[in-house]
Structure 1
Amino acid sequence: MAYIWLSAGVSKIGVHMDITQTIMAYEIFTPAWSDMLARIIGPLEIAGGMLLLLGIKLKPAGWVSIGVLSLFIIGLASAWARGLVIDCGCFSPDQTDQGTNVLATMGRDVLYIAITLWMIYRPYKKWAIYP
């Protein structure tokens, strides 16, 4: 899961306008909120990935990860229910016309939640700092 969060966060660094447009495509947030979220989401994903990679506070970091993934699923479900054709913006902002397979993306996020739950309840403790 550390790799997932790190790769997602790194892909968002330096492409602020693309991330803002991706967030605005969900039609949930105002342009000001979309801009703010675009500025903070990449660094926050990197920070979360580093906590998981280094084994620092594994359980709290895992619960935050599950919360964020749940919010992503809610946003995707909302866009899908309204018939929007969007790019999820998960690992790179791709402003193509074909959009994302939303159901597959939500399924992938559910799988990530399952992996994170396994990590929370069966953490590898040898190198973890305060799991």
Structure 2
Amino acid sequence: MVLAAVLVAAGISKVGRSRGVLDTFENFGVPFFLRRRIVAILFPVLEIALGVLLVTMTGAIWVLTGWVSAAVTAAFLFVTTRAFSRGERIDCGCFGAHRTPISISIVVRNSLLFLAAAGTTVMASAGLDSVPATLADFDTHDWTWSAAALFLAGITAAFFSSLRGSSDVAPGMQNRALTGTVLPDLYLSTIGQEPVRLHDMLKERPRLLLLVRPGCPSCDVLLHDPRPLHDALDPTIELVLIVSGAEDAFRTAHPELAEVALFGGWPLAEHLRVSAFPGAVLVGAGGSILAEPVAGRPAILDLSARSSSLLHRRPRTRNS
């Protein structure tokens, strides 16, 4: 029942949000042939249907539903585990507009959902009682224990959620706006290990700092076809590519960009509290932040499209 409830809730939260589903597919590196609008529209329908069928069907349909549920939850577990192991703090997109960066609690939750789906499949294949038959035999004692178990599960989920939320940013920084502050005076480096002072680089003209990471599928999509980004960006703004991660890995994946990229971007990403890669921040001449940092390809393209208006409506600079 818990698996069914999660699937239905996840499906309902995605209805009418096909663009968000497509962005999630892209972030997780889902095979290209699945990144279609029709798939994004039908995917939440599939989740809702699976949740309903798990608690209403018996016999062969219940068996088939169990197998499909196991396959779907296994896919969830695979992509979230892969993203977490790579250190990609991308939004899991599990519940539509509710933003949840990938963390160990997400991986654990998806592991439990997969085990629940696998257990349902085994029960259905073995001919054990289906959910409707089991519920029909429930007495008051059974319902009481079920309600208590659901209550404890909710408390546990809320506990892990609070831990995740409190660990995402430093205490006291959650509501602090960065617009108008000046970037810290950090040092980056070229592929040849030559130091580049951030403040020196930002003296002459405004720049869009694009933060990427090796092994990030969404970063690869943006870097392989940067034309939409360049087309949207104000022509007076220079695009600067900053890499957080291993130089060798980036040079292997993007040899054509290695010579123009700057490396050692982790401290900058942490200061900007970028929650996912790719990330970006629009900076004026002198290093003042013109708009809040964003993460994800759609948000970066939107920031680029607004770059002209932001540049000519420069906020008053204040100390970081």
Normalised to the residue count of structure 1, the TM-score between the two structures is 0.77
The residue type paired with residue 90 of structure 2 is I
Which of 99, 115, 129 is residue 101 of structure 2 equivalent to?
99
Deviation of the 1:61 alpha carbon: 0.9
Q: Retained in 1: the 8 A contact 2:12–2:44?
A: yes
- Secondary structure class of the residue paired with 1:111: helix
Deviation of the 1:72 alpha carbon: 1.1
The worse-fitting range, judged by mean Cα deviation, of 51-60 and 115-124 is 115-124
- Over 3 Å counting, the alpha-carbon distance change for 1:24 and 1:94 in structure 2 is farther
Q: Retained in 2: the 8 A contact 1:87–1:94?
A: no
Deviation of the 1:92 alpha carbon: 2.1
Q: Report what 2:49 is aligned to.
A: 47
Give distance in 2, aligned partners of 1:21 and 1:2: 25
Give distance in 1, aligned partners of 2:6 and 2:35: 25
Q: Report what 1:76 is aligned to.
A: 80
Report the RMSD for the aligned CA atoms in angstroms: 2.6
> Unaligned regions of 5+ residues in structure 1, if any?
none
Give distance in 2, aligned partners of 1:126 and 1:77: 30
Give distance in 2, aligned partners of 1:27 and 1:126: 35
Runs of 4+ in 1 over 6 A off after TM superposition: none
Which of 3, 8, 11 is residue 9 of structure 1 equivalent to?
11
More strand by share: 2
Identity %: 26
Give distance in 2, aligned partners of 1:67 and 1:8: 16
Give distance in 2, aligned partners of 1:31 and 1:117: 27
Q: Report what 1:124 is aligned to.
A: 129
Q: Retained in 1: the 8 A contact 2:73–2:117?
A: no
Instruction: Give 1 or 2 for the bigger CA radius of gyration.
Output: 2
The worse-fitting range, judged by mean Cα deviation, of 57-66 and 25-34 is 25-34
Q: Retained in 2: the 8 A contact 1:24–1:31?
A: no
Deviation of the 1:12 alpha carbon: 0.5
TM-superposition CA deviations, 1:47-80 (whole Å, max 9, x none): 1112112124222211211111111111112222
Q: Report what 2:114 is aligned to.
A: 113
- Over 3 Å counting, the alpha-carbon distance change for 1:32 and 1:5 in structure 2 is closer
> Unaligned regions of 5+ residues in structure 2, if any?
134-320
* Count of aligned residue pairs for this structure pair: 125
